[in-house]
Amino acid sequence: MTKKASIKLFEHASTPNEMINLTEDDIKTLIYPVGFYKTKAKRIIEMSHKILEDYNGVVPDTIDELLKLKGVGRKTANIVITLGYAKLGICVDTHVHRISNRWGYVKTKNPTQTEFALREKLPKEYWIEYNDILVTYGQNVCVPISPKCSICPIEKYCPKIDVIKHR
For the annotated catalytic residues, the residue numbers are 75, 93
Query: Is 122 exposed, middle or buried, given 0-12, 13-18 or 19+ CB atoms closer than 10 A?
Result: middle
Q: Which helix (H) or strand (E) holds 112?
A: helix 111-121
**Residue 164: which residues within 8 A CB-CB, separation 6 or more?**
none
**Residue 84: which residues within 8 A CB-CB, separation 6 or more?**
59, 61
**Residue 54: which residues within 8 A CB-CB, separation 6 or more?**
none
In terms of Cα–Cα distance, which of 85, 48, 94 is closest to 70? 48
**Residue 122: which residues within 8 A CB-CB, separation 6 or more?**
90, 105, 130
